A and B are shown apart, each in its own frame.
Chain A
């Protein structure tokens, strides 16, 4: 799989064409109250690819990710200027209900956060929420298999989701997110609370999942971005205006970002010259 990706990247950088873009984020400004958190970042996200958001702390990569399914709307002082076009619709249009947006765009969080209910009920949660009428058992099994967790939990589906280990809990959260078959998954540093073995499992899982889903992942582990992301967007903090405003510096195929970045800032960051 990697070999294919590498040759493709070396031979010709595939053009980002409008028809394979699932979500086009044309962000102008994000405010928290009066504080300008992120400005001027255009992030097109392509279908069936993994896009990695990297950058130093406070550069707004998580803020941008959480804007993509309107999770930030839960923060009262959050304000978004710009457009996020998802299958042709601007999700920030006044007529759009953020609750509905979140049902189509799944999210996996930094800390594993299963509900305090059984493993089965955790996975079935979204299906029940959407009044799913089909075979619940089958869909739960499918989601758990999809999250590479089925073999470990198939005999204890009635146990609490919180009885699992951290890595298993995170895969349970992924199973819960994919059970409703959203076409996009947002992952906010999904491995930062996991040990290396669990991290590796989640990464392998992401590479399988991109066959069916489009994934956007925030990570501050550059090796992780190199291992999983097809496209990488590098964000940095602009302190020139006396404030700390994040913006996207550069975006491109992962290999290009890490080996021949176009911008000086990106070069310094990927070489570890600042963090």
Chain B
């Protein structure tokens, strides 16, 4: 090291290497860094204030009774929203059962079978359009397709409406996850003598699974909070679900109904139900991130 340094008697004259705090460049950088911090904090204010409000207003009513009992009638005290939790769960389950197989098969087509075909380009574009589709219209569509033909509001119709909302999220996330599987892994599988179907089932899907699950979780989280599509399809019910072809309660509709009522008991329950709904969505989102982090 030392041997390569020039050996001179004259002192080496270096420019000052100290940090100049008040130079324009440094100031500019400091201000910009500070403003990104401040704006990031501002952006998180809505979420945290909502969670804070929900904890304060809904936390006190959140007990076992609220989670399990049936909704109270007008002047009744107590009660809860057990049927709405069950209804939301069942309809989300139905939506997942419908949208995940369709979504994954579409994604296989888009990502692997024929990524550059006209059909693939069109389908991808439509999926993106559907992501931003107003959820009310989804409700109206399913109302026309199922509620009118079945002559009743039902959990089934609610599940289908939520499935339509989940579908684009699942398709696009699953496609992305499969495209991300390195080509060299697919080559390895073909080199071992896999058919195309075997490459997909044994290598691409397992490798892309974390990404696919993340997409499914985000889709569920979105659908869980929707109220507009359920208003036209599942409507509401004051009783526990006994069949898929009858009107069904859900958390979001319960919140919508109870928050407009002039009774304190109902309003308190609406707050508690909101807290439960936000917690469900939050848990799903966090699960999605956790699964997505498992890198291959």
Contact = CB atoms under 8 A, between A and B. Distances in A.
Interface of A: 69, 71, 74, 99-104, 106-107, 109, 111, 113-117, 125-126, 129-130, 160, 162, 173, 176-177, 180
Given A113-B187, A173-B188, 9 more contacts: A74-B187, A99-B194, A100-B193, A109-B187, A116-B185, A126-B192, A129-B194, A129-B198, A177-B192
A71 B184 contact: no
B198 A113 contact: no
11 contacts: A71-B190, A71-B191, A103-B192, A106-B191, A107-B191, A109-B191, A111-B184, A114-B188, A115-B207, A116-B206, A125-B202
B296 A116 contact: yes
Contacts of A109: 184, 187-188, 191
B185 A102 contact: no
B195 interface: yes
A65 B239 CA distance: 70
B62 interface: no
A102 B190 contact: yes
A69 B191 contact: yes
A113 B195 CA distance: 18
Contacts of A129: 192-194, 198, 202
Nearest to B184: A113
B197 to A, nearest CB: 10
**A-B CB proximity, top 6 nearest:** A103-B193, A116-B296, A107-B191, A113-B184, A102-B193, A113-B188
A115 B185 contact: yes
A109 B279 CA distance: 48
B213 to A, nearest CB: 15
A126 B190 contact: no
A230 to B, nearest CB: 24
B296 A162 contact: yes
A117 B205 CA distance: 12
Nearest to A110: B184
B203 interface: yes
B189 interface: yes
Interface of B: 182, 184-185, 187-195, 198, 202-203, 206-207, 296
Contacts of B202: 125, 129
A71 B192 contact: no
B193 A115 contact: no
A126 B202 CA distance: 11
A113 B190 contact: no
B31 to A, nearest CB: 43
A115 B184 contact: no
Contact of A125 (B184, B192, B195, B207): B192
B66 to A, nearest CB: 44
Contacts of A111: 184
Contact of B182 (A100, A101, A113, A176): A113
Given A109-B184, A162-B296, A116 B191 contact: no
A99 B190 CA distance: 8
Contacts of A107: 191
A162 to B, nearest CB: 6
Nearest to A116: B296
Contacts of B185: 113, 115-116
A60 B188 CA distance: 21
A18 to B, nearest CB: 27
A51 to B, nearest CB: 19
Contacts of A100: 193
A99 B296 CA distance: 26
A192 to B, nearest CB: 13
A102 B195 CA distance: 10
Contacts of A173: 188
Contacts of A117: 206
Contacts of B190: 71, 74, 102
- Pick from A102, A160, A180 the residue with the most CB of B within 10 Å: A102
B189 A115 contact: yes
A174 to B, nearest CB: 12
Contacts of B182: 113
Nearest to A71: B191
A130 B194 CA distance: 10
A103 B195 CA distance: 11
A229 B191 CA distance: 23
A59 to B, nearest CB: 21
A143 B163 CA distance: 47
Given A113-B187, A115-B188, A173-B188, A99 B203 contact: no
Contacts of A177: 191-192
Contacts of A125: 192, 202
Nearest to A160: B296
Contacts of A162: 296
Contacts of B207: 115-116
Nearest to B194: A129
A81 B185 CA distance: 28
A103 to B, nearest CB: 3
Contacts of B206: 116-117
A99 B207 CA distance: 22
